[in-house]
Amino acid sequence: MEAAEFICDNALLDDEMSRVLSWREHRLTALGYPIAGATLLACAPIDIHDVERLIKRGCPLDLAIKIAA
């Protein structure tokens, strides 16, 4: 998905926010989250860095997402 294609809450986002969401989607997929879920989760108010830290400590991805939410 191109950064300009991100839509959260039915609102087309500006370029900067689209780049942020694209980065979040990329990080989530790099951590192993499926692309469809990562696209939706990129719009969620979770701290991706917290998710990364939890996974590095051995926490399963789905649990890390729940904890960070």
Could you state, in order of their start, the residue ranges of all structural domains in the chain?
3-68
What residue ranges of the chain have pLDDT lower than 70? 1-13
Using the structure block, give the residue that is written with the tokens 């979770």.
46
At residue 4, the pLDDT reads 36
Are the C-beta atoms of residues 13 and 21 closer than 8 Å to each other?
A: yes
At residue 40, the pLDDT reads 84
Write the CA distances from 55 to 10, 12, 35, 66, 67, integer angstroms: 31, 31, 18, 12, 11
CA–CA gap between residue 64 and residue 44 (Å, rounded): 14
CA–CA gap between residue 66 and residue 15 (Å, rounded): 28
At residue 30, the pLDDT reads 94
Which residues partner with 7 through β-bridges? 12
